[in-house]
Copies of this chain bind each other. A is one copy, B any other.
Amino acid sequence: MDLQFSAEERAFQRDVREFLESELTPELKRAVSLTPTVFVEKDIADEWHARLNRRGWLAPLWPKQYGGAEWTPVQQFIYESEAARAGAPTTIPMGVRMVGPVIIRFGSEAQKACYLPRILSGEDTWCQGYSEPGSGSDLASLKTRAEPEGEDYLVNGTKLWTTHAHYANWIFCLVRTSSEGRPQAGISFLLIDMNSPGISVTPIRSLSGDHEVNQVFFDNVRVPQANRIGDEGQGWTCAKFLLEHERGGVFSHRLMAMVQELRRLMIDTPDGEATLLEDARLRERLAALEVRVLSLEITEMRVLSKLRAGDPPGAESSMLKVEWSELQQALTELAMDIAGPYAQFFEPGRPLYALAGHTLGDERLARIPPDYLNTRAASIFAGTNEIQRNIIARLTLGA
């Protein structure tokens, strides 16, 4: 057992550091540190994607033939660790990490040739159409229909919680092409041009006043059947593949960056004649969370190790989901207690990094409440933590 990287891995780590040193501008860093939403805004994302793409690193897991980097799990771990430490933006996953791998795995050559380069170039911006009103955790009950008409489908229905639909020119959807048999069996995976007639997008403002998600309506939207990935009824398989493709995951370093940020905030926050860092209760509350983040880092490494050895991760991917989401929530909650009376402060302007002056002087305070409010979503999206615990229990109880 050891935590050492090999010589090659250390060389890669140096490359990543150099890259970040030269490409991560102070503006990008500041934008990241003032982003209370799950994903950074489109302008920040576009700029960062372009920089990553120039280096060949935008699609770490794609095969080289499609412009990917084909990183090993350890390389991913190293990149994520360095990027988090440096405060780099995360990439927006809908193109690179979601629809991309599905096209690579299930798409035709024509589809690959058409879509993959445009994801990398930034020409296309994707959004994901899974959830619907009334089918959140129970995805198989989705109702959006795609009915064949000639060489097309006519799509009717609506998708909910569609992140960045207001930016996207493409959406990948799970749609119902049949209502026979098991509900899962009638689902297909469809790519839809957001500029198609009949599509409308309604913004959904979050608690915190952020606009990140939307509802998308499909009213007799005509979509070529050629835009279907895989066969009819193979949508559930695509969705499951995507879920498994996302197993593992490296969240601990972003969380550790939050821990360090909170410590800095405690150092900078006066409390009478001392600062909050001198408050043993807050200091140890942070320490207890830091311990869990350290633990998560090792668990992530253990899962990567298993994946590298070809073993299935089992209950661990659900555990990782529960752990990072609950840690994120606990950290933003602690931030609220650090903010004290300013935990009630609401800055309506968006994006925060575009604001010139800050009411409270310290611009970091503007992020704390929306961060806390938005982070409540972490235990809801990507499979609620209740669903994750069901899965963990099933795998540990064998029940």
Contact = CB atoms under 8 A, between A and B. Distances in A.
Q: How many copies does the complex hold?
A: 2
Contacts of A284: 281
A197 B291 CA distance: 61
A280 interface: yes
Contacts of A281: 280-281, 284
Interface string A257-298: 000000000000000000000001100100000000000000
Nearest to A280: B280
A280 B284 CA distance: 11
A40 B280 CA distance: 40
A273 B281 CA distance: 20
Nearest to A285: B281
A385 B281 CA distance: 30
A281 B281 CA distance: 6
A266 to B, nearest CB: 16
A224 to B, nearest CB: 47
A281 B280 CA distance: 7
Contacts of A280: 280-281
Nearest to A279: B280
A299 B281 CA distance: 29
A239 B79 CA distance: 65
A239 B109 CA distance: 73
A280 B280 CA distance: 8
A177 B299 CA distance: 56
A203 B397 CA distance: 33
A188 to B, nearest CB: 36
A222 to B, nearest CB: 44
A307 B284 CA distance: 45
A71 to B, nearest CB: 44
A288 to B, nearest CB: 11
A284 B281 CA distance: 9
A133 to B, nearest CB: 23
A231 to B, nearest CB: 42
A69 to B, nearest CB: 47
A281 B284 CA distance: 9
A305 to B, nearest CB: 36
A284 B280 CA distance: 11
A301 B64 CA distance: 72
A233 B281 CA distance: 58
A185 to B, nearest CB: 32
A281 B285 CA distance: 10
A279 to B, nearest CB: 8
A281 B279 CA distance: 10
A106 to B, nearest CB: 42
A277 to B, nearest CB: 14
A283 to B, nearest CB: 10
A252 B74 CA distance: 56
A286 to B, nearest CB: 13
Interface string A349-375: 000000000000000000000000000
A168 to B, nearest CB: 39
A124 B153 CA distance: 84
4 contacts: A280-B280, A280-B281, A281-B281, A281-B284
4 nearest interchain CB pairs?
A280-B280, A281-B281, A280-B281, A281-B284
